[in-house]
Amino acid sequence: MAPCCSLALLLLCSQALAHSKGMLYPRESASRELKELNGIWSFRADFSQQRNEGFVQQWFRQPLRQNGPVIDMPVPASFNELTQDPALRNYVGWVWYEKEVLLPRSWLLNALRTRVVLRVGSAHYYSIVWVNGVNVTEHEGGHLPFEADISKIVQASSGALCRITIALNNTLTPHTLPPGSIQFMSDSSKYPKGYFVQKTKFDFFNYAGIHRPVVLYTTPTVYIDDINVTTTLKENVGVVRYQVSVVGDINYSLLLTLREKEGDVVTTGHGPSGELKVVKPKLWWPYLMHENPGYLYYLEVKLLAEVGGEPLEDVYTLPVGIRTVYVTSSQFLINGKPFYFHGVNKHEDADIRGKGLDWPLIVKDFNLLRWLGANSFRTSHYPYAEEIMDLCDAYGIVVIDECPAVGMKYEANFGNKSLAHHLVVMEELIRRDKNRPSVVMWSVANEPASELPPAAQYFKTVITHTKAIDPTRPVTFVSNANYAKDRGAPYVDVICVNSYFSWYHDQGHLEVIQLQLKTQFEKWYDHHKKPIIQSEYGADSIPGLHYDPPLMFSEEYHTAVLKEYHSILDKKRKEYVIGELIWNFADFMTDQATTRVLGNKKGIFTRQRQPKAAAFILRDRYWKLANESSCVHSTLKYNNF
């Protein structure tokens, strides 16, 4: 394999980011309108042998129903879970979505002053979008937003009807994130002609569809494109540094107003960049670390310009949390105070919506996190919806924000093509989440084959690039490699380690956990001298299955594994272990396998969000940890939940 052209790729992607558009979350204001397109769309899967009939017949040129039968499909949702057709559940290839909407007349009449944008929160995996039969954008990647300016198309139309067509392909290759491969079965005595399956090396179901909201929104033609905010503390003064990007004209003025949550003005500023100083600021604190966690100020940015001799205004309001993050060789500090991660790993996995955004499920999950006394989670193994991240900001839930680099097990996953895409994904992730106080660390991968020779230069490049874009946050990736053979570990700020002692090996032997976990921590720290998070640990349990003495898959074995881990974690957290994240928050769906009974059962909650015995063990522990490190009377909060 050719060596990675890291410097050239780094320069290329840095230039691309410098010229890329912002990705501000669509918010209504005095100058911006919003139209949600969630609900029922027309849907059709292309079951032709080459999966290309839709392109050959150009399904995007006329309403989808005129090209053949369509079915109703909700957006956002995963199409895999919503019919009784096994062929659609396991479908790999192109599917087609379509929605016809009426646009407000005010959006269409003044092209000189109004800009119309189509935004997709995420669609898995590769998307091509047409509006009224015109190609407007393409996007690779299944977990981050993309958008297109469709003003000229809809404003030139003779009517207000807007037809949106999205072709979506969920095929994974060695160079996608996550990677995969297509395996063709050529034995005609066993498989039909042209038979193939999608192979992956990650342990969750490859849900596909339009997973997050689709919206149309407007801005003025001279508009606020992006806002970048960083915060620091100098004694009793909070400093909010800002940079505002404006598109559409070079002649404009900017007024910035920082308000408290209650609406009182704190300070103001002018111009595209500068500092706002807050005396005795109300800091953004993690949940249970302060009596007022998740405190947010609101930064209103008002743009004034002129179009066609008439004044024009654009207004955007951004939540801002004032906080600092710093890492030493043995501690993780938030606002100068040691922070210990006691939380979970999650999956965006509902019952019938797959990875589709589901507000009742989101609210339930946050209530369960607070019931547990959890202060953090990792977005395993892909970025979560912006709506989830909003609640993390507001509630003070600390986030390790992970990109979808999971299943990188072969040398082919570490080549130049993979690297170039990986850098772009990190750019998109940081562009989306850079202003979030809840995000305290970036994770660039989960359990890659980081012992392979190409991994050293690969992760050096990805981590260096990530730090160049955002120098304010530490960077990690999650490893299950040997401490001495991991070629990416020298470049991270925090060591994240996954281990499943007495589960995937030494099955049933609880007595070896403490020795093996103690050895793991000591070897990693002696070798790298960096703080360590136990980023995954746990065991499968079938709810209601009991056995004593504890046997694997019983709830008793699950709780026994946790207690053995906790014994060593209690010793090492006094030294250099800075966190523990249980695997997993809730049971979730996987591909069918002899080791999985309708999915992964390592959740402390069932997929229906009912607690197993392990949840109560973890709840007792997390509230005790909170009481040790917090200045608030957490026992009172414990009883309230």
Q: Does residue 355 share a domain with residue 260?
A: no
Domain end among 320, 350, 369: 320
Residue-level pLDDT at 161 = 87
Residue 327 lies in a domain: no
Strand partners, 334: 325, 337
Interatomic CA distance for residues 316 and 225, integer angstroms: 10
In a domain, 17, yes or no: no
163 is a domain residue = yes
Q: What is the pLDDT of residues 491-550, one digit of tens each?
A: 999 999 999 999 999 999 999 999 999 999 999 999 999 999 999 999 999 999 999 999
* 250, 310: one domain: yes
Rounded-to-10 torsion of CA 360, 363, 364, 367: -170
398 within 8 A of 341, measured Cβ to Cβ: yes
Q: Is 154 a member of any domain?
A: yes
570: domain CATH number? Answer: 3.20.20.80
Domain of residue 395 covers 341-640
- Going by C-alpha positions, the residue among 413, 403, 418 that lies closest to residue 470 is 403
* Selected catalytic residue, list 447, 536, 555, 580: 447
List the chain residues with pLDDT less than 70: 1-20, 158, 351-354, 630-641
Q: With contact defined as beta carbons under 8 Å apart, do 343 and 67 qualify?
A: no
The Cβ-side half-sphere exposure at 163, using a 13 Å CA radius, reads 16
Give dist(CA 600, CA 282) in Å, integer: 42
Q: What's the domain count of the chain?
A: 3
Integer angstrom CA distances of residue 519 from 148, 515, 522: 52, 6, 5
Query: What is the distance of C-alpha 9 from the center of its chain?
Result: 24
Decide if 555 is catalytic.
no
- Is the same domain home to 36 and 71? yes
Residues 153 and 227 in one domain: no
The residues near 309 (Cβ < 8 Å, ≥ 6 apart) are none
> Residue 44: which residues within 8 A CB-CB, separation 6 or more?
54, 59, 64, 67, 68, 69, 70, 71, 95, 96
- Residue (of 97, 54, 48) closest to 76 by Cα position: 97
Residue 475 located in a structural domain? yes
In this structure, how many other beta carbons lie within 10 angstroms of the beta carbon of residue 65? 11
**Claim to verify: residue 31 and residue 63 sit in the same structural domain:** yes
Beta strands (DSSP E) in 567-609 are 577-582
Residue 63, token pair as written in the block: 């309403």
> Is there a domain that residue 11 lies in?
no
Strands 297-307 and 253-259: antiparallel
- Residues 412, 545: one domain? yes
Tokens 């606002």 belong to 335
Tokens encoding 592: 């069918």
Q: Is there a single domain that holds both residue 349 and residue 315?
A: no
Asked if 474 and 556 sit in the same domain, the reply is: yes
Residues 43 and 110 in one domain: yes
State the CATH number of the domain containing residue 290.
Answer: 2.60.40.10
The rounded distance, in Å, linking the Cα atoms of 565 and 571 is 10
pTM, full prediction: 0.93
In a domain, 122, yes or no: yes
**What DSSP line would sit under 425-453, residue for residue?**
HHHHHHHHHTT-TTEEEEEEEES--TTST
Claim to verify: residue 163 and residue 284 sit in the same structural domain = no
For residue range 99-120, list pLDDT tens digits in order. 999 999 999 988 899 999 999 9
State CA 399 to chain mean position distance: 10
| Of 611, 590, 616, 589, residue with least CA distance to 543 | 611
Q: How far apart are the first and last CA of the chain?
A: 55
Pair of tokens at residue 348: 């965006």
In a domain, 495, yes or no: yes
Same domain for 586 and 556, yes or no, is yes
Residues 526 and 424 in one domain: yes
pLDDT at 595: 84
Q: Which of these three, 178, 197, 219, is where a domain ends?
A: 219
Last residue in a domain, options 262, 288, 320: 320
